[in-house]
Amino acid sequence: MKTLLITLILSTMLTGGSIYDFKVPGLEGGTINFADFKGKKIMVVNTASKCGLTPQYTGLEELYKTHKDKLVIVGFPANNFAGQEPGSNEEIAEFCKKNYGVSFLMAEKVSVKVKILLPFLNGW
């Protein structure tokens, strides 16, 4: 999660843009357009179906249901961390709905890579 968040922050800082400039493919099709979320808090979360932290879906879903009028959660499944998200987009969507009732937004599976390491990020 930290890597993806850092990437979004750094991309925004380096390009002079904002998070509202981003559009990403949705897990079940369509496009997630961050411009649609102006006026709301946005939480970007790295997810993985076979991770020890997978039960985070329960808390994220509760948080989303409680605050969905002012909070958007976007999950980004990735398989870059010890192969913990090996499934296809369809398998991930089915897993999230069946096991955790996920109704918050999920982007299609991404590949997370760190290209920049800045000294002030060492504490992350």
Q: How far apart, in whole angstroms, are the C-alpha atoms of residue 10 and residue 121?
A: 11
Alpha helices in 43-88 (DSSP H): 56-67
Sign, CA dihedral 7-93-104-64, equals negative
Active site (catalytic) residues: 51
Amino acid at residue number 110: V
DSSP state of 99: H
